[in-house]
Amino acid sequence: MPGKGAGEAADRAADHTAETATADFHALAGLAWYAQRKPVFTGGNRVRLLQGGRDLFPALAERIDAAQDSVWLALYIVSPLGQSGGVLQALMRAARRGVQVHLVVDGLGSREAPEALWKDMAAAGVQLAVYRPVKGLSALFDAGQWRRMHLKLCVVDGAHAFIGGINLIDDHYDLQHGWSEQPRLDYALQAQGPVVTPMLHTVKAIWARAQFGRDWRDDLSQWAQDPNRLKRLQERVRQARLRLSPQEQSDIAQAVNLSLPMRSAFVMRDNLRQRRTIEQASLQAILQARQRIDIVTPYFYPHRAIRLALRSAASRGVEVRLLLQGKLDYRIAGLAAQVLYHELQWHGVRIFEYQPAFLHAKVLCVDDEWATVGSSNLDPLSLVLNLEGNLIVKDRGFVRTLSASLNEDFALSREVPRPPDGHRPRWWARVRRGFVAWVAKTYLRLAGVTGRY
C-alpha cells in the first residue's frame, strides 16, 4: 500500500535523524565544541538577524549594560569613532560595576586604535589581550604573522551571543577610505540557546591563545620540551576549557534533538582541528541545493571545488546569484573576483555588484532551509589562513527573513552582463587570471601554506 510504504519511509527517516543526533553527541565525547571538526547542530535556539552597526551596536550595548557576570569578545577591528564608541563605553561601564570583561583583539586589524583607548579600558577594568601583535617590518618574515584572528564574536553571561561580519567600527567609516555618506552593507546575528556554548568556548580559547602568545599548533612541540613552560601551557589549556563541564554535557545531550526548532551550529576555521570546517559545510550545502543559492561576500576567490559546485548547480537549473563589491576597498581583491566572472557566467551563474556603498557582508543562503552568516569570506585568507567563525541556521522562518533582506540588496546592485555565447576571454584576461593565481599562491607560501588551494 502506498500509505504504508510512505509511513515506513518516514519512520526510517526519523530513525536515521535520531541516530545522527545521537552519533553527533557521542562524537563530542566530552570535548569542547572548539575541538570539533564538523558542524554539530542543536535545536531550541533563537536567532535574530541584524543588519549593520545600526542594528548591532545598540543591541550589543543594551545586552552588555544588562550583563551580570561576564562579557567575552573577540574582534578583528576596534575603533572608538562614531557609533561603535557606544559599545566600548558599555564595556567600561560593565567592568566598573564588577562584570568580568575580556576583550581579545587582532594585532593587525586593531593596530590603528589609539593607545589612549586601551589605557582607558584597562583603567576601567577591561582585561585586554592582543592576538599576534605586529612589531615592525620583521613581522613580514614571520609566517605566523600572516594568520590573523578575523572573528567578530561576543558572548554575554554565557547566554547571549553576537556573531557575524561586523567589526566594532562605524558603518560610515573605513580605515582606508575614511568617512562615507552611505553605510557599509554588513550582517550579524544575535543568538540564544545551546548554540551559544561553542561560541563561549571559542572566544575563551582565543583569549588563552593570545595570552599564550602564539598559535598552539606552531609552538606545541617547542613548549613541551621546556618543563617550566609546560606548566604554563597546561594552565592555558585549562583556561581555554577544552572539555565540557558535566552540566554542559547534560544540556547538550538534550539539545542535540533535531526535532526542536531553530537548529543551529557554530563553525569555525582554525589551524588545529577545524581547518576546513566552514569550507566543507558551505560546499555540502551548495551541492545539495535544489532551487536557489545566494552568496554575498566582498572577497571572492574560492577553492576550485566550490567553483565547480556553483557551476554544476547553475547547470542543473538552480538559480545561483553572487553579490560582490561594486565599490572596491582593495583593488587586488576586486581583480581576483573579476577574473572568475567569465568562467562562472558561462555556466549560468548570475553576478551582481553592490552599488550604494562598500560591501562587507559574508552570507550564504541555500533554498529556504539553510543559511550561514559570519566572518568568513570565500577567499584564501579566510579559507586557509585566518581564524574565522560562522553560525549556520536551519530554519525556514529565519532563512526567509534573510532572503527577503538579500533581495533588497540585490535590487540595489548592478548585474554584470553575461558575455555573448561563443565569446572566449581575450589574451589579456587570461594574463590577469594567471597573475592573480600567482599572487594567491605566493601569498599562501609566504604564510607557510604549502598544500594545494
Cα(435)–Cα(336) distance, rounded to whole angstroms? 9
Catalytic residue among 303, 362, 379, 409: 362
Catalytic residue among 55, 186, 294, 367: 367
Please check whether residue 282 is in contact with residue 364, taking contact to mean a CB–CB distance below 8 angstroms: yes
Catalytic residue among 360, 379, 395, 409: 360
Catalytic residue among 24, 102, 150, 186: 150
- 364 forms beta bridges with 295, 372
Catalytic residue among 120, 142, 157, 215: 157
231 is catalytic: no
**Which SS3 state, helix, strand or coil, does residue 162 take?**
strand
Burial class (CB in 10 A: 0-12, 13-18, 19+), 15: exposed
**Which SS3 state, helix, strand or coil, does residue 168 take?**
strand
441 is catalytic: no
The closest alpha carbon to 71, from 133, 132, 162, belongs to 162
- Residue 388 CB coordination number (10 Å): 27
152 is catalytic: yes
Catalytic residue among 102, 152, 160, 172: 152
Please check whether residue 364 is in contact with residue 285, taking contact to mean a CB–CB distance below 8 angstroms: yes
The residues near 340 (Cβ < 8 Å, ≥ 6 apart) are 300, 301, 307, 433
Q: What share of the chain is helix, strand, coil (3-state, %, to 5)?
A: 45, 20, 35
At 129, which helix (H) or strand (E)?
Answer: strand 127-131
327 is catalytic: no
150 is catalytic: yes
360 is catalytic: yes
Burial class (CB in 10 A: 0-12, 13-18, 19+), 184: buried
Cα(200)–Cα(192) distance, rounded to whole angstroms? 12
Residues designated catalytic = 150, 152, 157, 360, 362, 367
